[in-house]
Chain A
Amino acid sequence: MPSPSPANRRANPPADAPLRLAVFGDSHYACVRAAEGRVDLAGLDVEYWGHVGRRFKFLTWADGAIRATDDQTALRFAKFNDKGRTSLPAREFDAILFVGCRLYLTPIFLLVGQARADGQLLSGALIDRLILDRLTGTPTWDFAVQTARLGTRVLISPPSFPTEGGEHGWEALFPDGSALLPDDRALVWDRVQAVMAGSGVTLIPQPADTVAAGATTWLAFATDSHATTGDAEHKNADYGALVWRDALAALRGAV
């Protein structure tokens, strides 16, 4: 009998064994959590492990798990996990969905839009380099790659584009980034998908039906706090449901 593959380390799992899925994220994963009741999660055993983004600098990869570098951070992550996990051991899951996780790609889209406005050529090889530099400069990308190497399926839903009409802080660098066209956007997603696939990671791009002009998200997907605080970053359960839709399609297509 062949040895179990790394992707299926449970010895002789029952045919109806649920797929063990961890949703790992920073505050962006709140929308996914909020949408849980709206999607059919049959066949899945879902756990959440996450905390606000500023705690991510206290995470590291060690012994096959994402771990906190200090007790305080470990407790904070444990607080939002049903099992009180202080770390996220990759081998205990069949798949991990990274949501947000500081993997900001919006600047690349804006850079492409700005290049279009400036009449500058931005070649495919250079876009690949921008993507790779941005990913490798983010520790969570290393977590994703390490997790994938252990045979656990990794999906990444990066932070969404800012909500339309709001300030997001990138205007100074890319004042004309909104010149981004739908074809440009599709091209960047294709390149991101290819770069991630090179490391065994599946991209869950921002659902096309949530994208407004340029690199922004329709107001309909903003959180309630958008109106009061101008929060352009976080999204609501409607958005989370669409992330679930695409992530589940990817998971079930491969399971």
Chain B
Amino acid sequence: MSHPYDSLPPDAFWRTAVADRSAFDIKGLWRPKWAIGRKEPIVTTGSCFAQHFGRALAARGYAWLDAQPGPRGLDDSQRRDFHYGTFSFRTGNIYTPRMLRQWLDWAFADRMPDEVWEKAGRFFDPFRPGIEPGGFVTLEELCASQTETLAAIRAAIAQASVFVFTLGLTESWQGPEGVEYAICPGTVAGRFDPAQHRFLNHGYAGLMADMEGALSTLFRHNPGVRVLLTVSPVPLTATASGAHVLVATSQSKALLRAVAGALADDPRIDYFPSYEIITAPPFRGMFFAPNQRSIAEAGVAFVMEQFFSVLGRAPAAPRAPAPEPKPAEPPAAEPDSATDLRCEEEILNAFAQPR
């Protein structure tokens, strides 16, 4: 008697899809729900790994949307160090679903919390403390910069055909009003106060609620936008959970992966498996740098190869008419292999206890 597994294709079986193949010959990991055309404006944001998508899209002539390009006349290193062109807007890394939700809420309310961190006479934005090296010279500059970024988020969402978000972390630090910081107070700037600051490791329900809240805002302001979720394969730099950092990483990534998978049941939402491409057993950790955390250039290239090899092939799903696309920027140069990613959490390394 026949059973459901009789008629499954080879890629449904581990032996034929994985075990009998070279790691580099494993294909079909992603079947996009919809095609993405080169003229469709694409917004990218999220944790560290999301930076690769923006660069790769621009380098391949896709209409990656840079809604906050910064002042004219800056060179590449100035733009990079001041976080222009890293994501579609100058938020710095958005690590958690809560942070995404916060940024979208703030953008459409055109208001941010008043909290500011100070250090050595300079001012730091608690929600993106790394974007201005050394901090803002004046409080007025900081506020003006926030206003500019909120406007850029609104403009980007209004124009986007595709919104790419890379989920990165579940662990976070919150202030007294429940607002979530980009990084623990006292690390980059600010002062840690155990009576005011609370560690929160989001669970599945909380992560899902925040993603649903963020997506609800997104779809409300752009009903036609499609969402592509990814999970960063980059392990935690440090954990405050009390668990071993490797175990804490596994829990975080599992939760984020589960949330992304569940959300991708929605036809407007797709999931691209960059997490699996880097971390799955057949790849034997070969894409990690010697610290077993950073992703080597070859790993990034392999992920992007998988992404772009099928990106334009899927039939376009029916969707609301896209807004008039913004004229594409000239394709950016291929990323420099020496280019380091800008992760605020890297700063945590400076606080690691010597073993």
Contacts and interface: CB of A to CB of B under 8 A. Distances in A.
A173 B144 contact: no
A125 B135 contact: yes
Interface in B57-88: 70-75, 77-78, 81-82
A111 interface: yes
A11 interface: no
B141 interface: yes
A255 B207 CA distance: 67
Contacts of A124: 136-138, 141
A137 B190 CA distance: 34
Contacts of B75: 133
Interface string A109-132: 011001100101111111001100
B297 interface: no
B134 interface: yes
B212 interface: no
A174 interface: yes
Contacts of B78: 126, 129-130, 133
Interface of B is mostly: loop
Contact of A114 (B72, B133, B136): B72
Interface of A is mostly: helix
A126 B73 contact: no
Contacts, number: 59
B118 interface: no
B132 interface: yes
Interface in B117-170: 122, 132-138, 141, 144-145, 148
A107 interface: yes
A123 B141 CA distance: 6
Nearest to B138: A124
B133 A115 contact: no
Size class of the B contact interface (CB-based, 8 Å): 20 to 34
A130 B70 CA distance: 13
Contact of B137 (A110, A120, A123, A130): A123
Contacts of B122: 125
B73 A114 contact: yes
B201 to A, nearest CB: 34
Given A118-B71, A120-B71, A129 B141 contact: no
Contacts of B137: 123-125
Interface centre among B71, B75, B141, B144 (most CB of A within 10 A): B71
B71 A115 contact: yes
B82 A126 contact: yes
A115 B72 contact: yes
Contact of B72 (A126, A129, A133, A173): A173
A123 B72 contact: no
Contacts of A120: 70-72, 148
Contact of B136 (A107, A123, A130): A123
A198 B138 CA distance: 20
A173 B72 CA distance: 8
A174 B133 CA distance: 25
A121 B68 CA distance: 11
B349 to A, nearest CB: 23
Contacts of B134: 125
Contacts of A121: 71, 141, 144-145, 148
Interface of A: 107, 110-111, 114-115, 118, 120-126, 129-130, 133, 173-174
12 contacts: A110-B73, A111-B74, A114-B71, A114-B73, A120-B72, A121-B71, A125-B122, A125-B136, A129-B133, A133-B77, A133-B78, A174-B73
Interface of B: 70-75, 77-78, 81-82, 122, 132-138, 141, 144-145, 148
Given A110-B73, A111-B71, A125-B122, 16 more contacts: A114-B72, A118-B72, A120-B70, A120-B71, A121-B141, A121-B144, A123-B136, A123-B145, A124-B138, A125-B137, A126-B78, A129-B78, A129-B81, A129-B133, A173-B72, A174-B72
